[in-house]
Amino acid sequence: MPDGDRGTYHAPMGTDCLFCRIVAGEIPATIVRETATTLAFRDIDPKAPVHVLVIPKEHYADVATLAEADPGLAGEVLATAAVVAEEEGLTGDGFRLMFNTGPHAGQEVFHAHAHLLGGAPLGPMLCR
Ligand code: 5GP
Ligand code: ZN
């Protein structure tokens, strides 16, 4: 799908949210799947052979805020992640799906996003 050709959504005027700007087509991204309410695109700095970010198009700061405000939309993010995992060939060997939330998790972009990681053994869940 060509960048910048994703319907009529526009980031709110003055938004400085990176992922809202990707949704609006104002910043390019490699989109792998789009639904009416979600977008999946490749991470710019992949940590695994497959590293896709799955977001709600609507802005929520993190997954907790999203889940409280709109559990149905949170489910749609999970459903999109599952379809992308299938399309990326990850369902046989498995994958990791994670939402960094807040400072202890090192969240850097404050627009809720799932990291879909796979394509090779991912190692232990946490490095200490
Ligand atoms: P967080 O640390 O907030 O959980 O994850 C943010 C992710 O966004 C990081 O993995 C980072 O590589 C990715 N990222 C940051 N800027 C961009 C960008 O401009 N485009 C894309 N596709 N990914 C980005
Ligand atoms: Zn946003």
Structure letter (DSSP) for residue 47: S
**What is the per-residue pLDDT for 61?**
98
pLDDT value at position 99?
Answer: 98
The residues, any chain, with a CB within 8 Å of residue 27's CB and separated by 6 or more, are 18, 21
| Residue 89 DSSP code | T
Give me the active site residues, please: 113
Name the closest ligand to CA 16: 2
Tell me if 104 CB under 6 Å of ligand 1: no
Q: Give CA–CA dist 34/23, Å, rounded.
A: 10
Whether residue 76 contacts residue 35, with contact meaning beta carbons closer than 8 Å, is answered with yes
**Closest-approaching ligand to the CA atom of 19:** 2
- Convert the pLDDT of each residue in 50-62 to its tens digit: 999 999 999 999 9
Q: Which domains does the chain have, with CATH numbers?
A: 6-118 (3.30.428.10)
Cβ–ligand 1 distance for 109 under 6 Å, the answer yes
pLDDT tens per residue, range 86-122: 999 999 999 999 999 999 999 999 999 999 999 999 9
Q: Of 26, 92, 86, whose CA–CA distance to 54 is shortest?
A: 86
